[in-house]
């Protein structure tokens, strides 16, 4: 597995990371056993970058990750705070300084550790100046509870302001062949400041795998049902792009998912995609994809298929978009 330095930090991470599954999980004993197998296989494959959050499975993901990794932490573990689900299912943010400390203490307990390698603000809170939030996060570093700081889904101005308070190691946002908006200004800003870019959903939330053929393929409780890219009026057009992508994948002897990941890992040594599979077999395919070297011609061909004008639907529902890129 190729390794990459995470920004200006001392952290060395695998060329791909492993996050949580976006779908519903099996929270039974059998489900946890499968999760343990996944983490063990990831370590065997050289994947050492694990992405979590207090928002994932209501904190259970942190607990399971800690149990699966055990006492020997041969891994770089990240977590996040500030992205809240309200009782009615709607989303909210909280990045007030006092909340920062409380969230970190709770995550440390669930992760069964005394220090988190990389701690992200999960979503920017428009009601709290970023300087106050990052100031509180910096105190966690001073206390030895966090090694490095990150921020998710931030705009360039917010990133720059945060970085002036305390060095930001990584910015995380959605990035895939289908979603390349970060190339406009966010990735250039990260490179200017020496900040790593961590791209989540490199498979377009499953769209790029070619395994989704209609809206009905999504389970009734699948959160992707609220995402416009999967609505029937948009999905048909998006799947036409995926079909063209499959022609390239077939020629190269790859699956669609592998090709999508190979493209994401090819975008620079400072970019680390994180995948969210829960199956060891799919993870093995992902690890193999991280070793694929795409030609400049194939990269250009893929990018010519997935242009901004060609894709259909927004990456989040319209009502959620104002909370992104702040």
56 classed as catalytic: yes
Region of residue 115 (phi > 0: left; psi between -120 and 50: alpha; otherwise: beta): beta
Of the candidates 56, 99, 175, 282, the residue annotated as catalytic is 56
Residue 220 CA to residue 243 CA, distance in Å, equals 25
Query: Which residues are identified as catalytic?
Result: 56
């Amino acid at each position: 597995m190729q390794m990459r330095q995470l920004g200006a930090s001392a952290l060395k991470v695998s060329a791909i990371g492993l996050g949580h599954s976006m779908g519903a999980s099996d929270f039974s004993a059998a489900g946890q056993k499968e999760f343990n197998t996944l983490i063990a296989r990831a370590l065997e494959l050289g994947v050492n970058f694990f992405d979590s959050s207090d928002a994932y499975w209501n904190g259970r993901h942190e607990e399971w990750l800690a149990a699966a990794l055990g006492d020997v932490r041969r891994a770089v573990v990240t977590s996040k705070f500030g992205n809240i689900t309200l009782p009615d299912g709607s989303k909210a943010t909280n990045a007030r300084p006092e909340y920062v400390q409380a969230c970190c203490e709770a995550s440390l307990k669930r992760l069964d550790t005394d220090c988190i390698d990389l701690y992200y603000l999960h979503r920017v809170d428009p009601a709290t100046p970023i300087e106050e939030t990052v100031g509180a996060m910096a105190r966690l570093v001073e206390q030895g509870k966090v090694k490095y700081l990150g921020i998710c889904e931030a705009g360039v101005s917010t990133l720059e302001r945060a970085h002036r308070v305390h060095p930001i190691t990584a910015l995380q946002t959605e990035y895939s062949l289908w979603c390349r908006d970060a190339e406009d200004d966010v990735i250039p800003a990260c490179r200017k400041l020496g900040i790593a870019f961590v791209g989540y959903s490199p498979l377009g939330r499953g769209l790029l795998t070619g395994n989704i053929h209609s809206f009905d393929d999504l389970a009734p409780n699948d959160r992707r049902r609220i995402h416009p890219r999967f609505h029937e009026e948009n999905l048909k057009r998006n799947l036409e792009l995926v079909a063209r992508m499959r022609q390239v994948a077939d020629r190269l002897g790859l699956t669609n998912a592998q090709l999508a990941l190979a493209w994401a890992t090819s975008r620079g040594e400072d970019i680390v995609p994180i995948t969210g599979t829960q199956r060891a077999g799919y993870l093995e395919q992902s690890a193999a994809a991280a070793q694929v070297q795409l030609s400049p011609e194939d990269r250009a061909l893929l990018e010519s298929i997935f242009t901004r004008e060609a894709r259909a639907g927004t990456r989040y529902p319209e009502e959620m978009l104002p909370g992104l890129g702040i």
